[in-house]
Each structure stands twice: as structure tokens, then as C-alpha cells.
């Protein structure tokens, strides 16, 4: 890493570069899509599931640094894509992705990245970059790849510095569906793929898509619901016209306060109508805002598949004080100090004490900050889908 004011010559063979807004240059070997993209640099500590991470819409506008060194070794396939809309713009890895070695692999990670227009940068000291993010916060940056090693550093640096960052940015509209969609897929099993979805008198869940992962809907199906997915800006009246037994608020990217400008009024009307509500990640944050709380931008965020969360508040009865290992991906959080009367904290991070869950007294409405659908990650939290569907 070096500042361009006194940067040594570009290393021989360098075909990729990460340019931080403070002027730091990180040289490496580019792979995947050829070009340049701007975003916020974050880090993810998961050891598996890189394909699911890269296709999670919650990572829109972000460049993911994987702390696990061997990313791409098992290749890529069509089944492990979480969404076909925009996800992470690129990734930074320690080792060059090798020839895939997995019976489910259909193509190399490099080829898959090319096909999905995502830029990769290998050969990086990811421990040093992660430590920088932990100490100084998540920086804005440009990631660039050119097989010939030609880079206009001043122009790329200007692009990184001109990008406004995620705070105040509404990205949900950019990654949301454009029209209502009846969800068809069920849970996945080896050899059989994804099961079909059936109505069969099941309760009807209307899921608002702020940048959702497909595995969320598969878990709702597994828990016993049938699902209709609607765009982020769907009105209260249009939601109610679908006759939902409950409403699900999905994950998504960007600043919850910005998305909340149009989403929160709808959520408040749903609460007033006593419609059961379950929100995760961005949906959890906007449920909290609708109930009177505030959200904050985190210093480094939580992203990984091993985050311990403790159940608190007495809402979950005999399971009080139980610790779940969870999958997380968020750079904003609900400010627990702003929770108003009647909003109970139900889950708390054991890493930093930040809020990870709420329940609204007198309402069938709750949310969690983490991803109970995993993909990737542990399955400790599936009970939340069962809890939600069971109350419909």
C-alpha cells in the first residue's frame, strides 16, 4: 500500500489496482470483468459461500475483501446465485483463484466473475487491508482491472473521491423487482435441486423486496407459507389488495433512513392495521424507524457467517440467554439507545453490544439484524421463519 504522492513504479505484472479515496494504491492481479467500478470497501469473514455473498443485493455499491485466503477454489454454479440483480461490484482476495475442484462446479470463478461483470483483485495482503478498515472505517475506493496494466490513476482517484458514499443513499429502488411476482421455489436438496412451492391453503406472505435474497423466500416456503414478492415502493393499498396474512420486509443495500422515506409510512400503516410483520437486516432497521427508533452508520459493519447473537428481553421465553451463531451483512444498525417504550430489544451482538433484534409490544411484529436464511452461514435461526408463519 502506498500514497500516490510517493508511489513507487507500478509492480511488474500488476493488472489490477484498488485506489482508496485517501490516495492509497493497492496493486495486484486483476481477474473477472475488465474495467473499473467504485464502491465502499468492506470485509467479510466467511470461509464459504463467496458466490452467495457476491450476488447478495445487500452488497450493492460495495467491494468485498474476503479474509479467508482461498476464494474461488470450488468454482461457481447456477444454483448458488442469490439474486440476478446487482450485488457486490467487485472483490479483493489473497490468493489467485485456482482451477475449481468441486463436483458441483460448472465454471471457474474467474469466468463467472466475467459473466456477471464483477471485478476481482488477487495477490493482496487482505489482513493488512482488513486491519485498515477496522481501524479507520470502510473507505470509498475504485477497483480496476486491465490485462495490459494500463491505468489512469489520477482519473480513478478522482472517481473514488467524488463518490458520495453509502450514507444517505437509497439503493433499494435500484435492486428491487419492478413488478409483483409469485414465488415458486422451495428448499434445496442435493441431487434434487430446489423444490417447488405450493399454496395448499397455506398462509399468504407478501414480501416487500428492498434487495432480497432468494433463500429468504425458500425458507418462508419451508416454514409453511406461500409468497408473493412486490417492489420496494408498493403502496399500503396495493399490499392490502393482495390479502396478505402477513408482510415480510426484506434485506437490502444503502442507508435505511433514505429508503425509509417511502418505506416507513407504508410500514406504519401496516402496524396500525395490525398486520403481522417480520423484517430482516434493512427491513428490521426500517421496522425500528417506523416504531420510533433511529439508525446509525457503523464504523466497519458486520459481515460474516460466525457472529454470536444473544437472545435478551424475555420475548423468547425458555430460550432466553441462548446464543445463536448468525450470518450478518450490514453497515448500518439500529441505535439501541433510541428504542422507544413498547419496543423491546430481543437480540444483541456479543461482538460489540449493538442491537440485533426487536419486538413491538401489542403487535405481531418483530425483526432481526442478521440473516436467518443464511446462504452462506449457520442455520441456528430458522425458528424465526417458523415463529412468523406460525402467528399468521
Residue 181's nearest CA partner among 160, 223, 209 is 209
Per-10-residue mean pLDDT for the chain, 392 residues long? 58 96 96 98 96 98 97 96 96 96 96 98 97 96 98 97 97 96 90 84 97 96 96 98 98 98 98 98 98 97 96 75 94 98 96 97 97 93 96 95
User: What pLDDT, on the 0 to 100 scale, is given for residue 327?
Assistant: 97
Catalytic residue among 42, 91, 281, 356: 281
User: What pLDDT, on the 0 to 100 scale, is given for residue 319?
Assistant: 63
User: What pLDDT, on the 0 to 100 scale, is given for residue 166?
Assistant: 97
Residue matched to cell numbers 439501541 = 336
Residue 350 cell numbers, joined: 456479543
Residue matched to cell numbers 489520477 = 154
Residue 1 cell numbers, joined: 500500500
Phi, psi of 248 (to 5 degrees): -105, 135
Residue 48's nearest CA partner among 327, 323, 325 is 327
Exposed/middle/buried for residue 12 (C-beta within 10 Å: 0-12, 13-18, 19+):
exposed
Supply the CATH classification number for the domain 4-162: 3.50.30.20
Q: Is 299 a catalytic residue?
A: no
Delimit the domains of the chain by residue range. 4-162, 172-390
Residue matched to cell numbers 414465488 = 183
Q: Is 320 a catalytic residue?
A: no
User: What pLDDT, on the 0 to 100 scale, is given for residue 197?
Assistant: 77
For residue 111, give the H/E element and its range. Answer: helix 109-115
User: What pLDDT, on the 0 to 100 scale, is given for residue 316?
Assistant: 72
User: What pLDDT, on the 0 to 100 scale, is given for residue 317?
Assistant: 64
Residue 64 cell numbers, joined: 468485498
pTM of the predicted protein model: 0.95
Indicate the class that CATH gives domain 172-390: alpha beta
- Strands in 343-349's sheet, in edge-to-edge order, are 181-182, 226-230, 204-208, 246-249, 277-280, 365-368, 355-360, 343-349, 295-311, 323-334
- Rounded Cα distance between 72 and 53, Å, is 12
Show the CA angle centred on residue 27, arms to residues 332 and 51, nearest 5°: 50
Residue 141 cell numbers, joined: 475506493
Q: Is 106 a catalytic residue?
A: no
| Cα 291 → chain centroid | 23
Amino acid at each position: 500500500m502506498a500514497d500516490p504522492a510517493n508511489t513507487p513504479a507500478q509492480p511488474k505484472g500488476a493488472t489490477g489496482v484498488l485506489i482508496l479515496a485517501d490516495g492509497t494504491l493497492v496493486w495486484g492481479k486483476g481477474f473477472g470483468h475488465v474495467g473499473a467500478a467504485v464502491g465502499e470497501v468492506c470485509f467479510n469473514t466467511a470461509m464459504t459461500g463467496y458466490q452467495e455473498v457476491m450476488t447478495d443485493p445487500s452488497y450493492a455499491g460495495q467491494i468485498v475483501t474476503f479474509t479467508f485466503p482461498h476464494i474461488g477454489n470450488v468454482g461457481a454454479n447456477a444454483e448458488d446465485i442469490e439474486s440476478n440483480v446487482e450485488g457486490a461490484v467487485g472483490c479483493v482476495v489473497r490468493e489467485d483463484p485456482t482451477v475449481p475442484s468441486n463436483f458441483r462446479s460448472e465454471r471457474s470463478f474467474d469466468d463467472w466473475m466475467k459473466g456477471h461483470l464483477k471485478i476481482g483483485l488477487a495477490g493482496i495482503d487482505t489482513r493488512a487491508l482488513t486491519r485498515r478498515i477496522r481501524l479507520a472505517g470502510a473507505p470509498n475506493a475504485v477497483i480496476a482491472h486491465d490485462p495490459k496494466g494500463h491505468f489512469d490513476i489520477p482519473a480513478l482517484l478522482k472517481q473514488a473521491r467524488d463518490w458520495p458514499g453509502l450514507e444517505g443513499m437509497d439503493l433499494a429502488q435500484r435492486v428491487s423487482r419492478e413488478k409483483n411476482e409469485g414465488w415458486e421455489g422451495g428448499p434445496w436438496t442435493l441431487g434434487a435441486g430446489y423444490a417447488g412451492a405450493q399454496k395448499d391453503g397455506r398462509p399468504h406472505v407478501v414480501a416487500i423486496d428492498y434487495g432480497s435474497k432468494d433463500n429468504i423466500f425458500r425458507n418462508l416456503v419451508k416454514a409453511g407459507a406461500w409468497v408473493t414478492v412486490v417492489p420496494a415502493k408498493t403502496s399500503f393499498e396495493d399490499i392490502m389488495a393482495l390479502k396478505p396474512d402477513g408482510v415480510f420486509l426484506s434485506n437490502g443495500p444503502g442507508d435505511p433512513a433514505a429508503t425509509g422515506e417511502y418505506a416507513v409510512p407504508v410500514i406504519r400503516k401496516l402496524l396500525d392495521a395490525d398486520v403481522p410483520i417480520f423484517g430482516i437486516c434493512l427491513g428490521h432497521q426500517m421496522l425500528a424507524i417506523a416504531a420510533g427508533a433511529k439508525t446509525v452508520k457503523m464504523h466497519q459493519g458486520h459481515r460474516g457467517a460466525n457472529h454470536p447473537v444473544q437472545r435478551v428481553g424475555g420475548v423468547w421465553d425458555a430460550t432466553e440467554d441462548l446464543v445463536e451463531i448468525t450470518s450478518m451483512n450490514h453497515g448500518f444498525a439500529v441505535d439501541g439507545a433510541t428504542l422507544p417504550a413498547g419496543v423491546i430489544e430481543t437480540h444483541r451482538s456479543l461482538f460489540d453490544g449493538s442491537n440485533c433484534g426487536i419486538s413491538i409490544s401489542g403487535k405481531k411484529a418483530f425483526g432481526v439484524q442478521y440473516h436467518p436464511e443464511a446462504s452462506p452461514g449457520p442455520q441456528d435461526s430458522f425458528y424465526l421463519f417458523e415463529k412468523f408463519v406460525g402467528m399468521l
